[in-house]
């Protein structure tokens, strides 16, 4: 809905939280609703997810900082801690030169160190050439890093 009777994403997230859901899925965070999403993710709604638009996983974290600060006047360090606590994995999709979209990176969000959110790449797209029609060939390859935050997976009965 638009206009004076519009219902915002912020209102929808708050209403969803009152229903005591196991998970919350927010289609896209692009405004001050980011703080409500982070609050939901930090209050026992494991497995929740959202989408956002950015050029890289690191850019997405920076964009989230900006979106949160649009909605609240809180210290940047606190925002970064909220983000690092709420978000565990970022799956970055991108468009290749042949206009196809692929998963380019899967990144684990670790913690805040020296006032910066630390991430580590778990998987990266490795281009392997082109086919006869000009389509980019490649695969998502594991990096040398392993998932560090495994406690929640173990509690859910998933072993690595």
| Entry pTM | 0.86
Helix, strand, coil content of the chain in percent (nearest 5): 35, 30, 40
pLDDT in tens, 55-112: 999 999 999 999 999 978 899 999 999 999 999 999 999 999 999 999 999 999 999 9
Residue 1 lies inside a defined structural domain of this protein: no
Residue 138 has pLDDT above 70, yes or no: yes
Show the domain range for 52. Answer: 7-155
pLDDT, tens only, 26-54: 888 888 888 888 888 888 777 788 899 99
Please report where in the chains the tokens 């997230």 appear, as a residue: 13
**Both tokens assigned to 50:** 């959202």
Q: What is the CATH number of the domain that holds 136?
A: 3.40.50.300
Relative orientation angle of helices 76-86 and 33-41, to the nearest 10 degrees: 50
Q: What is the spatial distance between Cα 42 and Cα 155, in angstroms, rounded to a whole number? A: 17
Q: Confirm whether 73 is domain-assigned.
A: yes
């Amino acid at each position: 809905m638009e206009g004076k009777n519009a219902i915002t994403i912020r209102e929808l997230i708050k209403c969803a939280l009152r229903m005591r859901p196991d998970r919350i899925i927010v289609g896209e965070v692009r405004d001050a609703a980011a703080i409500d999403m982070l609050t939901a993710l930090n209050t026992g709604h494991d497995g929740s997810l959202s989408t956002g638009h950015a050029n890289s996983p690191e850019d997405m974290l920076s964009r989230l900082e900006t979106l949160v600060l649009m909605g609240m006047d809180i210290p940047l360090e606190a925002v970064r801690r909220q983000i690092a606590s709420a978000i565990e994995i970022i799956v970055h999709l991108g468009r290749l030169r042949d206009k196809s979209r692929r998963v380019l990176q899967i990144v684990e969000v670790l913690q805040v160190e020296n006032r910066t959110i630390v991430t580590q790449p778990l998987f990266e797209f490795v281009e392997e050439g082109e086919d006869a029609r000009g389509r980019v060939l490649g695969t998502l390859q594991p990096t040398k890093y392993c998932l560090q935050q495994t406690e929640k997976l173990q509690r859910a009965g998933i072993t690595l």
